[in-house]
Structure 1
Amino acid sequence: MEDVLELYKQPYDEQHPVVCVDERPCQLLVDKQPSIPAEPGKPEREDFQYERNGTCNLFVAFQHRVGWRHVEVTERRTNADFAHWLKRLVDEWFPTATKIRLILDNLNIHSPAALYQTFEAQEARRILEKLEWHYTPKHGSWLNMVEIELSILVRQCLDRRLPDLETLRQEVQAWEQQRNAQKATIDWQFTSTDARVKLKRLYPEISPS
């Protein structure tokens, strides 16, 4: 916990960016009946019935110091999907960084092993050498700032029926561009000092010598 909280306090370092990463499933929904267009004094109305059109996954990277995020829509959430996403993180989004410091939870795919299961050993090692892994505690994924960003994404973009992958990608991209243009970020206040007081029960009790 304190490892993650101390990272949040550090000033921006272009060569060693701190990037919070996470993912979430998303359900695709199709209207059974066309919606009724808005009229003067009446909002657009949609039928309560819908059909499920499959599921997909959203990978999210968030850099709080500069108010930057990137959301990628994938069909699945497998070790290979995560490994390819990490490769793009290294090669496309932070190509000049010396070391990318990742903050992530303990999901089973969040492991360097995913790289070796997906790429040849030499390529897996190349990507891995650009990454530094910092895990939130078990049952402590709330310490990852990207979870707040994901909740904002759900409220502002995913709170309606999106019928297919292409529509979802367009909507998510528009949301991402707007948030990045605003350099919207999170005013994180919780520190290691706070944790030692408010979460004192989680620390070992040291008997005085």
Structure 2
Amino acid sequence: MNNRCNSSRRPARSGQPPREDYEYERNGTANIFMFTEPLQGCRHGHVRAQRTAVDWATEIKDLLEVQYPEASRVRLVCDNLNTHKLGSLYDAFPPETARRLAQRLEIHYTPTHGSWLNIAELELSVLTRQCLDRRIPD
């Protein structure tokens, strides 16, 4: 069988450095909550060890109370993950707090077969180029 894409089966050419297979070593995972406001040129990225409903609710509380405390309404475009629901606020906070936060939030979910998250993907690309272009041990 002739497999031209498998470099380990081709002999090294004279004068060329030896070829080594890349071996991926996973140092763990993290979840990045990305909030961006493109027209203002700002982004907020928070890294968490997991992605639970309570984690999402905590990020939303930070968004509303720390990042935009004066805004009466915040429009949020997010994907359709099961944790990205107003009910997550009630899982994380007392009903009074959850209701106060939910009243300030206007959520727009991405369509099932659409991609409104290109902006977030672009922001993550910037993060990758600026910060993640090297191995980070933890």
Task: Mark yes or no: TM-score above 0.5.
Answer: yes
1 CA distance for matches of 2:98 and 2:55?
14
Report the alpha carbon displacement of residue 51 of structure 1 after superposing the two structures with TM. 4.2
Report the alpha carbon displacement of residue 152 of structure 1 after superposing the two structures with TM. 2.4
Runs of 4+ aligned residues of structure 1 deviating over 4 Å after TM superposition are 48-51
Report the alpha carbon displacement of residue 147 of structure 1 after superposing the two structures with TM. 1.9
Task: Go from structure 1 to structure 2 and tell me whether the alpha carbon gap of 1:50 and 1:146 turns closer, same or farther (over 3 Å shift).
Answer: closer
Post-superposition CA distance 1:18-63 (Å, at most 9, x none): xxxxxxxxxxxxxxxxxxxxxxxxxxxxxx6664332111111000
Question: What is residue 114 of structure 1 aligned with on the other side?
Answer: 88
Is 1:95–2:63 an aligned residue pair?
A: no
2 CA distance for matches of 1:94 and 1:53?
34
Greater C-alpha radius of gyration: 2
Question: What is residue 97 of structure 2 aligned with on the other side?
Answer: 123
Is 1:152–2:130 an aligned residue pair?
A: no
Post-superposition CA distance 1:80-138 (Å, at most 9, x none): 10000000000000000010000111111111011111111111101111100111201
Give the one of 12, 28, 35 matched to 1:61: 35
Write out aligned runs for 1:189-208 (5 A): none
2 CA distance for matches of 1:137 and 1:155?
28
Task: Give the counterpart letter for 1:65 in structure 2.
Answer: L
Give the one of 59, 65, 89 matched to 1:85: 59
Task: Go from structure 1 to structure 2 and tell me whether the alpha carbon gap of 1:50 and 1:135 turns closer, same or farther (over 3 Å shift).
Answer: closer
How many residues end up aligned between the 2 structures?
117
Contact 1:59 1:71 in 2 (8 A): yes
Give the one of 114, 122, 133 matched to 1:140: 114
Stretches of structure 2 that go unaligned for 5 or more consecutive residues are 1-21
2 CA distance for matches of 1:138 and 1:120?
31
Question: What is residue 175 of structure 1 aligned with on the other side?
Answer: none
Report the alpha carbon displacement of residue 139 of structure 1 after superposing the two structures with TM. 2.5
Task: Give the counterpart letter for 1:93 in structure 2.
Answer: Q
Task: Go from structure 1 to structure 2 and tell me whether the alpha carbon gap of 1:159 and 1:142 turns closer, same or farther (over 3 Å shift).
Answer: farther
Contact 1:105 1:141 in 2 (8 A): no
Higher fraction of helix:
1
Mean Cα deviation higher: 152-161 or 121-130: 152-161
Contact 2:79 2:117 in 1 (8 A): no
Q: Percent identity?
A: 50
Give the one of 71, 84, 99 matched to 2:45: 71
